[in-house]
Structure 1
Amino acid sequence: MTSRSPLVNRLAIAIGAIVLTAIVSMATTLAVSKSIEGNATAINIAGSLRMGAFQLVAAAAAGDRAGEDGPGLNVRITDYQERLAKPEILRSIPRTSDHPLAEQYQSVRQRWATVLKPALVNHEIGAPLSAGMVGAVEGYTREVDRLVSMLEMRTEARIDLLHLIQIISLIFSILVILALFLDLRNRVLKPLRKLMAIATAVGEKDFSHQANLKGSDELAQLGQAFDQMTSELALTYYELESRARQKTEELEVSHAALEVMHSASRGLFANHDLCSGAIPMLQDLERLLGIGPIRLFLHDKESAEPVEAITTASPKRPFYCRDHHCNACLVTPEVYDEMPLEDNDGRRLLLPIRTPGQLLGTLEVWYPADKGLPDTSRRLLETLSDQLATAIFLEKQITEEQQLTLAEERTVIARELHDSLAQSLSYLKMQVTRLRRLNIEGDHKPTHDSILDELSTGLNSAYRQLRELLATFRLKLDTPDLATALRKTIDEFSERLGKPVSFEYNLPPQTLSPNEEIHTLQIIREGLANAVKHADATDITVKVMFDSPQVRASVQDNGKGLPGGGQPINHYGLIIMQDRARTLGGKVQVNNKAEGGVEVALTFVPKSRNLIPTETSPA
């Protein structure tokens, strides 16, 4: 019980002490007052014994006048003796025989019985008092006086004891009350004030106050519970405050990141170039979210592995870079080595770039392992992957639409040429044939035949060139990418050659625009056609290589080479190829190889986005 309720026990002890003091005080007071009860009567009776002794002596000296002045001497002696043994006196005398008061009372009674009473009985009535009688009376009265004094002293001692008990009880009660007050002040009032101050401070979000109460009573335990509660509340409050601050910072970062993504998405969709449109946005996101580098890989069906299309940080220029004036992704090796990569305590997050039913690529995000990646940052990156998926999907759609538009325009031109110029040339050829059948005689016949031969040669050449032009205009990219179209073209010419044509290709995805792809394909077809028709080649190799930022496409054969060792003059196919190269901003070179054969080489730098020109070149 004490260990469970020490405060209640202390209060119970204090109240019990006060009650016990009151009970003891009242009991002792009652006992003492009971012990001195009748002492006043005994003192009075004892005091009257002195007067009675003198009255007896006076009666003995005056003579016995019983019946006149009162009872006789013998009756008075009997009366006096009875008064000496009255109960009031006996109650005041202690029962123990060795008590001084009891001894004095016995001494008085003995002197009465042995000295004064015999002297009175033996005294002659009416005779004068003898010296012995006077001495006996005086000695007896002295003993009675001593008895009265002892009774008075005993009564006063009892009263003093009663006073002492009351004083002690009062002092003890005051001490108990004072101790109780001090205990209540130290153990109750002060702790309560501390607890109230802590409660008030907690209400004002101040968790620094501590009760620091010692002991094992209820208030001390309550104070310890308050201290623990305030510590836990402070920790919880600071944690919540830290979380709220962290969430606020994350929201601010998310808001800034969303603004960056929103503003950059316009350029991403309007620019139609992932590199220039996405890298600034990704670098801003890296600074805001504390991540990076970020890489974008596109899935190409012609490549077994995903092809890197974008990186935000690289110590050297990426392979696919088409703009050597741009240094957006280039960083120093020291900066690159500090980034969270696999060898530098980094973690990688892979996010799919997908549209419904189609996986377009993968977004690779590196972040520090010690900091981790918050959920808000992850959700932002997922939103980014959705934006990139939309941009890439729209880019592919636009590319296909431009290819289709370009092919349709060229088909229209081919149809117009076929319906107009081709028919006119056919008509002229028919007219030349009719003129040749006419028999013209005379001196003008040689001139006439020469003119007809020139007309026929010119018309045949024009008609052949027109057919090649129509075949060129009807050529279109009916496959989703240049590599597939080139393979189909090579398969076609391999059948015509009777032997497989070698093919090397390393162009990154989406390097060329539809216009650039069409012109590149047509130049390669022209080179293959020349090699198969005129070179008598047995080995033909086609290479389409990317040497950043330049594209080089070549057709090499081991045939008989060009006559004269240089580029042919006024060759219709070469003129077309050169026109196409100028359209691409590049050039075509046709030269004999040292080991034999001819090489047709096209070199140009692809542009970020070549739109379909408004005016189609004659080629």
Structure 2
Amino acid sequence: MKSRSPLVNRIAIVVCAVVLTSIVSMATTLAVSKSIEGNATAINMAGALRMGAFQLLAHAASPGNNHTGEDNIRGLAAKYESSLTNSAITRTIPDTADHPLAKQYRAIKANWEQTLRPGLESHPQGAPISAGMLAATETYVDSVNQLVSMLERRTEARIGLLHLIQIISLAFSILIIVALFVDLRNRVLKPLRKLVNIAGAVGEQDFSQKANLKGSDELAQLGSAFDQMSSELALTYYELEERARSKTEELETSHAALQLLHTASRSLFANHDLCSGAVPMLRELEQLLGIGPIRLYLHDKQLADPVQVVTTASVERPFYCRDHHCNACLVTPELYDELPIEDEDGRRLLLPIRTPGKLLGTLEVWYPADKGLSDTARRLLETLSDQLATAIFLEQQITEEQQLTLAEERTVIARELHDSLAQSLSYLKMQVARMRRLNIEGDKKNAHNAILDELSTGLNSAYRQLRELLATFRLKLDTPDLTTALSKTTEEFSERLGKPIQLTYNLPPQALSPNEEIHTLQIVREALANAVKHADATEISVDVVFESPQVHAKIRDNGKGLPNGGQPVNHYGLIIMHDRARTLGGQVVVQDRDEGGVEVVLTFVPKSRHLIPADAANT
């Protein structure tokens, strides 16, 4: 069975003390009152014994019949003795033999039995009272007075004892009550007041107050529980407050990021340059979410590895950069070394850039491993990848539509040329053939033949140029870049040459507009046609490379070189090549190589050439 707690024990002890005090007080009061019970009767009867003794003496001295007087004295004496030995008196006499009251009562009884009674019984009726008899009676009465006095003192002492017991009980009860109040004040009221104050402070979100109650009673245990509860509530409140603050900051960050994504989405769709449209937005997103660097890779079915087209942090200018005044992605080596990349305990998140049924690229996001990436940040990055996918897909669609439109226009032009100019040239060739059949004699024959030869040469050259132009106009690009078209072109001229033509290509995806791709391809085809037909070359190479911000297309052969070391006059193919280069904002240089052969070099700045100063474009 579980024992009672200290507070209950103290209250039980106090109650027991009060009850015990009351019981003791009542018991002693009852015992004292019992001990003095009948004392008043005994005192009265003892006092009557004094008067009775003198009455007996007076009766003995009065005259009367002897026999009657004798019988009267004896009867009165017996009656007096019965009063002396009455239980009302003997009950007040202690049983202890050496008690003063017992001694005094025995002395009175002995004096009565031995002196006074025999003297009264032997005294003649009516005879005067002798002095001895009177003295004996007075001695007896003095003894009775002493007994009465002793009874009175004893009764008064018992009453005084009763008063003393009552006073002691009252004082003890008061002390117990005072001690109880003090104990209650120190151990109950004050702790309860502290606990109430703590409860009020907790209600006002003040967890600093502590009870600090000592002891092992219920209130001390309750105070310890309150202190522990207050500490736990404080910790919980601070944790909840911190979580609320963190969630608020996260929501604010998310809201700011959503606003940034909303603003950036318009920039992505309005700006046809992915780098300049995405990098500022990605940098702001990195600062908001505490992540970075972020890199964007595009996939190309013609290439084995993805091609990086956007980065937010780079020590050197990326090779695909077109704007040499833009430093958005350039950082110092010290800052780059502090970024959470693979060597700096960073973690990488790869998000696909996809549309339904097509993977366009990959978004690579680096973030600190110790902080991790929140679900909100992950969802925002997924939203960003969807926006990038839409922007890239639309850009590719626009590019393909431009290519298709341009191809359709060129097909229409080619058809018109074939139906008009090609037929006219064929008709002129037939007329020249008819004129050759005419028999012209005399001095005019040589001049006539010379003119016909010139006409035939010009018509053949024009017809050949027209066929090349028609072949070029009918050429279609099946991909957003030049890779496939250049591969097919080199394969076509490799068959004409009888040997493979080496192709080197490293342009970034979407580096050129559809118009720039068509013009570049036509210049390469014209240069290859010249090398195959006129140079008597055995080796030909084509290099189309991107050296930011310029595109270089180089066609080299090991043929016989240019006639007389210079460019042929009135060569329609070269004239068209120069016109196309000027359309691209660049130039074509045709020159002999030191090791033999001819080198055709096309140089131009694609798309954003207006952002590059002229001196930078020519470097």
Q: TM-score, structure 2 length as denominator?
A: 0.93
Greater displacement, 196-205 / 530-539? 196-205
Residue aligning to 1:44: 44
Q: 5 Å matches for 1:7-406? A: 7-63=7-63, 72-406=72-406
Question: How far apart are residue 71 of structure 1 and its match?
Answer: 7.2
Partner deviation per Cα, 1:557-576 (whole Å, 9 max, x = no partner): 11221122233333221112
1:334 maps to a residue whose letter is E
Aligned 8 A contact 1:273 1:609 in 2:
no
1:398 maps to a residue whose letter is I
Q: 2:335 & 2:466 partners in 1: Cα distance?
A: 60
Aligned 8 A contact 2:478 2:484 in 1:
no
Aligned 8 A contact 1:406 1:515 in 2:
yes
Question: How far apart are residue 262 of structure 1 and its match?
Answer: 0.7
Greater displacement, 291-300 / 279-288? 291-300
Residue aligning to 1:525: 525
Residue aligning to 1:580: 580
- Is the aligned partner of 1:507 residue 2:528? no
SS of the residue corresponding to residue 296 of structure 2 reads strand
Greater displacement, 248-257 / 121-130? 121-130
SS of the residue corresponding to residue 220 of structure 2 reads helix
Structure 1 gaps of 5+ residues are 611-619
Aligned 8 A contact 1:586 1:605 in 2:
yes
Greater displacement, 228-237 / 402-411? 228-237
Greater displacement, 41-50 / 355-364? 355-364
SS of the residue corresponding to residue 72 of structure 1 reads helix
2:364 maps to a residue whose letter is E
Q: 1:18 & 1:73 partners in 2: Cα distance?
A: 61
Q: 5 Å matches for 1:429-578? A: 429-440=429-440, 444-578=444-578
Query: Compared with structure 1, are the counterparts of its residues 44 and 71 closer, same or farther at alpha carbon in structure 2 (3 Å cutoff)?
Result: farther
Q: 2:445 & 2:519 partners in 1: Cα distance?
A: 47
Greater displacement, 145-154 / 443-452? 443-452
1:550 maps to a residue whose letter is Q
Partner deviation per Cα, 1:460-519 (whole Å, 9 max, x = no partner): 222222222112211221245311221222122222222221222222222222222222
Q: 2:65 & 2:501 partners in 1: Cα distance?
A: 188
Question: How far apart are residue 379 of structure 1 and its match?
Answer: 1.1
Structure 2 gaps of 5+ residues are 611-619
Greater displacement, 405-414 / 1-10? 1-10
SS of the residue corresponding to residue 363 of structure 1 reads strand
Q: 2:455 & 2:308 partners in 1: Cα distance?
A: 58
Q: 2:75 & 2:472 partners in 1: Cα distance?
A: 182
Question: How far apart are residue 136 of structure 1 and its match?
Answer: 1.8
Quick one: percent identity of the two aligned structures? 76
Query: Compared with structure 1, are the counterparts of its residues 64 and 595 closer, same or farther at alpha carbon in structure 2 (3 Å cutoff)?
Result: farther
Query: Compared with structure 1, are the counterparts of its residues 606 and 111 closer, same or farther at alpha carbon in structure 2 (3 Å cutoff)?
Result: same
Aligned 8 A contact 1:506 1:546 in 2:
yes
Query: Compared with structure 1, are the counterparts of its residues 353 and 65 closer, same or farther at alpha carbon in structure 2 (3 Å cutoff)?
Result: farther
Q: Cα RMSD (Å) of the superposition?
A: 2.4
2:122 maps to a residue whose letter is N
Q: TM-score, structure 1 length as denominator?
A: 0.93
Aligned 8 A contact 1:104 1:147 in 2:
yes
Question: How far apart are residue 432 of structure 1 and its match?
Answer: 3.0
Aligned 8 A contact 1:65 1:72 in 2:
no
Query: How many residues of Structure 1 are paired with residues of Structure 2 in the alignment?
Result: 610
Query: Compared with structure 1, are the counterparts of its residues 176 and 88 closer, same or farther at alpha carbon in structure 2 (3 Å cutoff)?
Result: same
Q: 1:569 & 1:122 partners in 2: Cα distance?
A: 204
Greater displacement, 59-68 / 228-237? 59-68
Partner deviation per Cα, 1:106-156 (whole Å, 9 max, x = no partner): 122122222322332333433333332233222222221221111111111
Greater displacement, 239-248 / 35-44? 239-248
1:96 maps to a residue whose letter is T
Residue aligning to 2:593: 593
Greater displacement, 130-139 / 315-324? 130-139
Greater displacement, 24-33 / 323-332? 24-33
Q: 1:347 & 1:354 partners in 2: Cα distance?
A: 22
Question: How far apart are residue 443 of structure 1 and its match?
Answer: 5.8
Greater displacement, 544-553 / 408-417? 544-553
Q: 1:413 & 1:324 partners in 2: Cα distance?
A: 39
SS of the residue corresponding to residue 139 of structure 1 reads helix
Greater displacement, 497-506 / 199-208? 199-208
Question: How far apart are residue 27 of structure 1 and its match?
Answer: 2.2
